[in-house]
């Protein structure tokens, strides 16, 4: 079993949470073993399997310098076709990695500097941004507000550096 009670984890769709229990539950099929995960909006039940569906450990504090570099780096251009862009971004976010969250936040933020974001793009950015800042806060052992301030500062610095 890769996770233990008390472990901080990240679910690709629901964000940061803490494993609070392990319980046999019967939802749709035969009884299975599930992780009980406390998230901001309630409880999430994730089936214990190898590997768990997208569930991963929180990013290590020692890895944050690499992600600072990602946020400071040149953004990748996004498709001008909003259908293609939306599918590409959703596909990337489904991977659920911290690296991808940083890249998507960087790229969509930069896209918004060029042209006002559509509602769909803005919602994707908001979701990725919130998840990024929540995980950053846990990894760095700071508040979400402090993590958000650092991410915002890195994005601004990256914009200035990449406009030259």
Tokens 């993590």, residue located: 147
CA distance 38 to 72: 32
Question: Mind listing the domains of the chain with CATH numbers?
Answer: 8-57 (2.40.10.170), 61-163 (1.20.58.1290)
Residues 6 or more apart whose CB falls under 8 angstroms from that of 69 comprise none
Say what the pLDDT of residue 52 is.
59
pLDDT at 45: 86
How far is Cα 10 from Cα 59, in angstroms, rounded to an integer?
Answer: 9
Here the tokens at position 72 are: 């400071």
Question: Do residues 47 and 53 touch, judged by C-beta distance below 8 A?
Answer: yes
The structure tokens listed for 51 are 């590997």
What average pLDDT values come out for the chain (164 residues) when binned by 10 residues? 87 88 81 87 83 81 97 94 93 90 96 92 94 95 97 95 78
Task: Tell me phi and psi for residue 9, to 5 degrees.
Answer: -135, 165
- Which of these, 124, 126, 105, 108, lies nearest to 116 by C-alpha position? 108
Q: Give the pLDDT confidence score for residue 50 in this predicted structure.
A: 58
What integer pLDDT is reported at residue 15 of this predicted model?
A: 86
Left, alpha or beta for 87 (phi > 0: left; psi -120 to 50: alpha)?
alpha
């Amino acid at each position: 079993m890769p996770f233990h009670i008390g472990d901080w984890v990240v679910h690709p769709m629901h964000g940061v949470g803490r494993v609070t229990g392990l319980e046999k539950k019967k939802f749709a099929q035969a009884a299975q073993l599930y992780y009980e995960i406390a998230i901001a909006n309630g409880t999430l039940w994730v089936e214990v399997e190898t590997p768990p569906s997208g569930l991963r450990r929180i990013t290590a504090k020692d890895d944050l310098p690499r992600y600072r570099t990602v946020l400071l780096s040149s953004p990748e251009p996004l498709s001008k076709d909003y259908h293609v862009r939306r599918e590409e971004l959703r596909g990337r976010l489904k991977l659920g990695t911290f690296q991808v969250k940083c890249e998507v936040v960087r790229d969509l933020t930069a896209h918004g500097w060029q042209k006002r974001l559509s509602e769909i793009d803005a919602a994707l950015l908001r979701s990725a941004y919130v998840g990024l800042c929540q995980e950053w806060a846990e990894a760095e052992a700071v508040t979400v507000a402090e993590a958000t301030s650092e991410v915002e500062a890195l994005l601004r610095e990256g914009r200035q550096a990449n406009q030259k």
